[in-house]
Amino acid sequence: MSKCAACQIDIRLGDIEGNLEKMFAFTREAAANGAKIIVFPEASLSGYCFDTLEEALPYAQDPNGEITQRVTTLAKDLDVHIILGILERGNSPSPDRPIPIFNTALLIGPDGLEYAYRKIHLPYIGVDRWTTPGDRQPMVVEARGLRLGINICYDLAFPELARTLALLGADLIVLPTNWPPHAKIMPEKAAPTRAMENGVYYLASGRVGLERDCQFLGHSLICDPSGKFLAEGDGISETILYADIDPERARNKHVVRIAGQSELHRFGDRRPEFYGELIKQHNEPTPHVLPR
């Protein structure tokens, strides 16, 4: 068993120090309550509602920079792993191209940065209008005896990604998110469905509060491999949700209701030879206008 925490917090746009101070305070509280993996919302360091790439760029971070060093020190002092959202500053491929930024979640432990996940699916909303799609294959990492996968916000709407992480061995998928008001169906239906259909635990850490003209939804959650809610936040409160994650339960994909009469296997019953359309390239339009 490993105890995990989803920290539902408000965030101030562009206030790196204030947001970091709040995350440190919530981390200390969660650790004092026994949590070993502590998750914060999407873009929790910088805020989300930037209106241009130029406005966002000064708040973009080097994943191996000072912020990560400071979080590492806290993780070492408290013996925890911390997942937080940043805007990651990339490298421009040429002088005539803009400096890219990525919407990134960092997994930081007592020994430093262990994984940086770049958001793959980008909606045309907030800072994601100006970020570059993630360019790395999804992977599962070990932390606190768990096999852990990371998605960010809109990734939840693409079941292929959660299935990929489950097939790679994930026990738990965490989702730093900034759900806007119209996305209520995501915590209500989509997140527990991703948990159930893959037989994994699912933890979504969302944010609350008003940023510019966007009122964020909150409703952080932790679901078990059957899709049952173990913990759920409201739409207004800063809070911490807790749940114990049992990796053995997530690794057993064979569900037996009545032996010999009612059984199913989440992976063994798959028929991938019929799923070819899922991996074909498409030429559908996208509203993203930045050079990719």
Query: Active-site residue numbers?
Result: 42, 119, 153
**Residues in CB range of 79: below 8 A, 6 or more apart:** 31, 36, 110
3-state class of 78 per DSSP? helix
Separation of alpha carbons 60 and 231, rounded Å: 32
Cα–Cα separations (whole angstroms), residue 144 to 8, 80, 210, 250: 22, 9, 34, 15
Q: What residue spans of 15-150 are helical by DSSP H? A: 16-32, 53-56, 66-78
Q: What are phi and psi of 140, to 5 degrees?
A: -115, 135
Residue of 95, 106, 96, 21 lying closest to 62 (CA atoms): 106
- The backbone torsions φ and ψ at residue 99, rounded to the nearest 5 degrees and listed phi first, read -65, 125
Q: Which bin fits 189, alpha (ψ -120 to 50), beta or left (φ > 0)? A: alpha
Q: Angle at Cα 13 formed by Cα 130 and Cα 7, nearest 5°?
A: 105
Closest CA to 139 of 129, 147, 130: 147
